[in-house]
Amino acid sequence: MTTTQRKPGFTLVELIIVVAIMVMMLAVAMPLFFQIIAQRRLTGAVERLAADLRYVQSLAVTQGIVHRLHSGADGASGRPGEYRLERDNGAGGWTQLVGWYNPSADYSGSMLQSIKDNAGNNVGTFDVRFNAQGAVANVGIASYPIVLTVVATSGTTRAVQVMRTGAVRVP
């Protein structure tokens, strides 16, 4: 009696089944993967905004001059979704410290949507100002905290809060 020995390896059917299972797993995982990436981009943009607020506050304290984070949503600049850091020049104007920053450049699809007080009213100056003591120096704010909202292309939003004392929080 002759016996044929099977060579080690996989049959074509076994390989097709494994590839089909992997394709199905990939099809299920991809939407979740893209959602996680979008959430991380939004979180990065929010953390960058909070860091920039803390930086401009620190400049106000160390230089003893009012500094601000100014939103491009003011209409005059034509830069919605962007912001820049500025220093009071003492002559009724502002000197920019850095050019306009577009969060979408580093965190694809993220942008600064609004600056509002706690009651939901727009901050009329489109900025958050800090005085030499590091406290908020905005005038006419109805209620604190000031809430800066960052939005992603998916419509998801996250906020940064600035308390009257100048504390910057990311809830």
CB 158 within 8 A of CB 42: yes
Q: How confident is the model at residue 43 (pLDDT cuts 50, 70, 90)?
A: very high
Residues in Cβ contact with 82 at an 8 Å cutoff, skipping those fewer than 6 apart: 71, 72, 100, 101, 102, 103, 111, 112
Q: Which residues pair with 70 in a beta bridge?
A: 84, 127
The secondary element (H helix, E strand) that includes residue 23 is: helix 12-63
Strands (E), the chain: 67-71, 83-88, 94-96, 111-116, 127-130, 146-151, 157-162, 168-169
pLDDT tens by residue, 95-135: 999 899 999 999 999 999 999 999 999 998 899 999 999 99
CB-based burial, 88-120: b 16+ in 10 Å, e otherwise: beeeeebeeeeeebbbbeebeebbbbbbbbeee
CA dihedral 90, 76, 124, 64 (to 10 degrees): -20
Evaluate if residue 74 carries a pLDDT over 80.
yes
Nearest to 72, CA basis, from 44, 47, 100, 53:
100
Residue 42 has a pLDDT of: 95
**Could you give the domains of the chain?**
12-169 (3.55.40.10)
User: Averaged over 21-45, what is the pLDDT?
Assistant: 93
Q: Which of 8-12, 111-115, 163-167 is least confident?
A: 8-12
| Maximal C-alpha separation, the chain | 106
